[in-house]
Amino acid sequence: ISFFFFFFFFFFFFFFFFFFFFFFFFFFFFFFLMIRRPPSDPPIMRATVRAALAAGASLGAHPSYPDLAGFGRRPMAMAPAELEAAILYQLGALAGIARAEGGTLTHLKPHGALNNQACEDAALAEVVVRAAVVFDRNLILVAPACSALAAAGQRGGLRVALEIFADRRYTPRGTLVSRREPGAVIHDPAESIRHVRAMLDAGGIVALDGTVCKSEIHSICVHGDTPKAVATASALRAALASDGHDLRPLPDIV
C-alpha cells in the first residue's frame, strides 16, 4: 500500500508539475512575443517616415486605443484624461521620429474603434480634439464626413479634412457598416471606383439604402489591410484624374 501510494503521489506530482510548467512557459512565451512584436514599433515608424518623405507625402499620425493585441479595433472604456494622455503619447512618438528625419506632422486621423466611436460619441470626439489642440493646433484633423468627430474638430478650431471611404459601405446614419456584416467591405477596385464616383456626384456620403448626407469631400480612404488595397488605390487615383479631379496634399486643400 505504501509503495502504491508513493508511486501514485510521485506520478500525480510529476504530471501536475509538467503540465503547469509547459502551460506557463508557452503562455509567457507568446505573451512576450506579442509585446515585443507589435503591429508597429519605432523601427517600423522610422522606416515609414523615411519612405513617406522620400515620396513627398505628408506625415500623419493614426492614434488608437492602447489595444495592441486587437490592433486598436476593440472598444475600450477609458477615462477622458487617460485617453487624452494615450493620444498625446502616440502623437509625440511619431512627431519625434519625424523631426529626427527632417519632417513634421501635418495631420492626424484616429484609428479603428477610437475613430468609429468618436464619429458617434460627441464626448469622445471632444477628447480626441482636445488632445490634438493641446499637442499642435495647426494639425489637420482627418475625420469622416457627417460625423460627430468632424463637428467637434470644427468647433475646436482645427482645420478638418472631411473623408469618405472607398472600400466601405455606409449605414443611413452616415456611419460605416460593421465589418462583421456581409458586403461591408468592398474588395473589387472597379466597385470602389463606382462607390466613390457616386458620392462625389451626390456631393456627400451615399448609404446602402440611397440616403445621402451632404458634405464636402477632401480625402478618400483605402484601407491598407484589404487584399487589393494597392490595386484599388492605383485604379482610383487614375479614375479620379481622368474625371478631372485635382489631387493634392491635405495642407493645400484645407
Tell me: the pLDDT tens digits for 176-224?
A: 998 889 999 999 999 999 999 999 999 999 999 999 999 999 999 999 8
The β-bridge relationship of strands 59-61 and 105-108 is parallel
Q: Do 78 and 161 sit in the same domain of this protein?
A: yes
Q: Does 87 lie in the same domain as 7?
A: no
Say if residue 62 is in the same domain as residue 28: no
- Res 1 pLDDT > 60: no
**Is the pLDDT reported for residue 8 higher than 80?**
no
Say which CATH number the domain at 147 has. 3.20.20.370
**What is the spatial distance between Cα 72 and Cα 90, in angstroms, rounded to a whole number?**
13
pTM of the complete model? 0.81
Which residues, in sequence order, are bridge partners of residue 212?
206
Residues 1, 106, single domain; the answer is: no
Same domain membership, residue 97 and residue 221 = yes
Domain that holds residue 179: 40-252
For the chain, how many structural domains are there in total? Answer: 2
Most confident of 8-12, 45-49, 67-71, 248-252: 45-49
pLDDT of residue 41: 87
Least-confidence region, from 84-93, 120-129, 173-182: 173-182
| pLDDT score, position 65 | 94
Q: Quickly state the pLDDT bin for 153 (edges 50, 70, 90).
A: very high
Cα distances from 45 to residues 42, 68, 122, in angstroms, run: 5, 15, 30
Residue 14 has pLDDT above 90, yes or no: no
**Helix (H) or strand (E) segment spanning residue 108:** strand 105-108
